[in-house]
Amino acid sequence: MRHGEPVGGRKYRGQVDDPLSEKGWAQMRAAVGEHRPWTRIVSSPLLRCRVFAEELAGHQHLPLSFDDRLKEVGFGVWEGMSAAQLNEEDPQQLQRFKADPVNVRPAGAEPLEAFFNRVAAGVESLLQSSAEEHVLVICHAGVIRMVMAHGLHIPLANAYRIEVPTAGFTRISYEPGPPLRATLRFHGSVAVPA
């Protein structure tokens, strides 16, 4: 599940630790409702994920853990900037980034391959420790893209073509391997599908 809207609205937030806005809390609560198909929760430690994960785990009496590998990608000098601000600086920079996110990175940004490897290590660790479990992972759009790239073998150059809605769900199921086989069950749902 992607987090809801943070305070300050849409930005290239990266690892800036903004909390959820009131709207973000409402989005996440509405998306989850009273559903409880999962057996435990794992979350990014960043506030926009962490605090809701704590509330949900407490409400549903589920085990909760945090994994630093599930933090959003570091956006370097873009951290905390909106698309409008970036376009004022250079109207072409977002287009260049979206056309080649592997090689065209903001100054100081985490390399996309390093981000992918970090998230993939987190996923593989989770799969080893949670076989046969239905785990809710509360994280970020970039993390969801990397999970999909890892499980479905999507080239990193294409990962930013995947739209990830705020407070939306993506469900991937895994079959034991090797080779590891993942299946995308749904993506983009803003409520827990039945």
What are the residue boundaries of the structural domains of the chain, listed by start? 22-189
Q: Rounded to the nearest 5°, which phi and psi values hold at 14?
A: 55, -120
Over the stretch 70-127, which tens digit does the pLDDT of each residue have? 999 999 999 999 999 999 999 999 999 999 999 999 999 999 999 999 999 999 999 9
Closest CA to 116 of 97, 87, 137, 144: 144
**What fold characterizes domain 22-189?**
Rossmann fold (3.40.50)
163: exposed, middle or buried (C-beta count within 10 Å: 0-12, 13-18, 19+)? exposed
Q: Tell whether pTM > 0.75.
A: yes
Residue 61 has pLDDT above 90, yes or no: yes
Q: Band the pLDDT of 36: cuts 50, 70, 90.
A: confident
Q: Tell me, what's the pLDDT at 165?
A: 95
Q: What is the mean pLDDT of the chain?
A: 94
Q: Band the pLDDT of 193: cuts 50, 70, 90.
A: low
Residue 177 has pLDDT above 80, yes or no: no
Residue 194 has pLDDT above 60, yes or no: no
Closest CA to 151 of 127, 174, 126: 174
Largest CA distance in the chain: 49
